[in-house]
Amino acid sequence: MLPDFDAAETALIERVAEFRDREVAPNAAQWERERRMPVETLRAAAALGLTGIEVPRELGGLGARFSVKVRIAEVLSEADMAFAFSLINTQNTAARLARTGTPSMRERYLAALLRGERFGCTALTEPGAGSDFAAIATSARRVDGGWVLNGEKAWITNAALADLSVVFAQTDPGERWRGIAGYLVDGTRPGFERKPPYALMGGHAIGTGGFALRDYFVPDGDVLYPPGEGFKTALTSINGARTYVAAMCCGMLRGALGTALRYGAERRAFGKPLLEHQGLRWKLAEVATDLEAARLLAYAAAEAIESGRDAVLPAAQAKAFASRMILTRLGDCMQAMGAEGLREAHPIGRHIALARIANYVDGSTEMQHERIAALLAERYGRH
């Protein structure tokens, strides 16, 4: 079940699928082998407008709604969630500037993001603070004309490449969440120190890493969210992130299921194609059923966000279910192919590594359960 996309939205999604098949699917294994971010392909995606999916047309973007972004994330993830996640994070930076940035910010940075000349990221997580966002230690000290930032960010998508960051920092530790503000940080200026990207079990096209801020000066004109507003804005945006991560899981599983089905139709065992063996057919039927259940949850969350309703519960449920079930179901797809499923030529191994990543990004699975549990009585306790 999908939203009702109009003709223009459908045409855009189809162009994204063609781009995926032409530029992403044939190259994703090599990007992973080389442990690098595919700058050239990210720029090709920018040329299609994909770094400005939600940016209004009058500012140079596509002006698409949130559900279209979710669908694009799902489509690209059939080939490589790492690429999709990196691209969407630069898009999110551009969309933030379009929505809440000043005219000066947009004039200096927006066009470069839309053209793929610069890449963006959002920096919440730190070495000692992840899901407990209110515990961040990166400090922002008020000075004449602006703020001085000091601290270190970790586990940041696009950190290996991004030179424009939305950084959340604490202006008053005694205020906890009320002291958190959001700043626009230009990685080409003094005080920004990029750390080497992390060597992980997979997903290197995401460019996960960190950076330090050493007396980095932010002028008043580059404050995106004042103290207190930063925390609330981050929590609102994380519902969207959890929703498109759930859709990305669906995309990976759709790609893996298609791979298993094509192989099962061609490979013969005991005198007939694999797909004619009941045990394998039934297992893949279970995969397809869980896939459709996960998609329903993801697009229900997208609809809640788009309509302005409280999306904490549907977003948490979508991500918790999708990221949990995909680990099992990707294994089922690989098992259906026997040892052939282990080969790098097939995407399932890469998907499995990225499925593990999906269990941590934008709040761990345990954090999703906390959000769901906190709303149990309100949502399910009444007759």
pLDDT of residue 3: 84
Cβ neighbours for 346, distance < 8 A, ≥ 6 positions apart: 259, 263, 337, 340
User: What's the CA gap between 290 and 111, in Å, rounded?
Assistant: 41
User: What's the CA gap between 345 and 353, in Å, rounded?
Assistant: 15
Q: Look up tokens 């996309």; give the residue.
A: 5
pLDDT of residue 383: 62
Residues (pLDDT < 50) of the chain are: none
Q: The pTM is what?
A: 0.93
Domain over 231-380 is classified CATH 1.20.140.10: yes
The torsion defined by the Cα of 106, 107, 111 and 116, in degrees rounded to 10, comes to -80
β-pairing, 139-143 with 146-156? antiparallel
User: What's the CA gap between 154 and 246, in Å, rounded?
Assistant: 23
User: What's the CA gap between 60 and 41, in Å, rounded?
Assistant: 20
Look up the CATH superfamily of 7-118. Acyl-CoA dehydrogenase/oxidase, N-terminal domain (1.10.540.10)
Locate the domains of the chain by residue range. 7-118, 121-227, 231-380
CATH of domain 121-227: 2.40.110.10
User: What's the CA gap between 269 and 272, in Å, rounded?
Assistant: 6
Cβ neighbours for 156, distance < 8 A, ≥ 6 positions apart: 121, 122, 123, 125, 162, 165, 208, 209, 210, 211
Residue 268, beta-bridge partner list: 273
User: Where do the DSSP E strands lie in the chain?
Assistant: 120-123, 139-143, 146-156, 164-170, 180-186, 192-194, 209-219, 223-225, 268-269, 272-273
Report phi then psi at 224, rounded to 5. -85, -45
pLDDT of residue 274: 74
Tokens of 200: 């992980």
Q: Look up tokens 């061609």; give the residue.
A: 266
Q: Check: CB of residue 107 under 8 Å from CB of residue 374.
A: no
User: Per-residue DSSP letters for 268-321?
Assistant: EETTEEGGGSHHHHHHHHHHHHHHHHHHHHHHHHHHHHHHT---HHHHHHHHHH
pLDDT of residue 130: 67
Q: Check: CB of residue 277 under 8 Å from CB of residue 264.
A: no
Rg (CA), the chain: 21
Cα–Cα distance list, 63 to 53, 72, 149 (Å): 6, 14, 33
The torsion defined by the Cα of 21, 27, 244 and 281, in degrees rounded to 10, comes to 70
User: At 53, is the secondary structure helix, strand, or coil?
Assistant: coil
- Closest by CA to 330, choosing from 287, 368, 370, 301, is 287
pLDDT of residue 176: 83
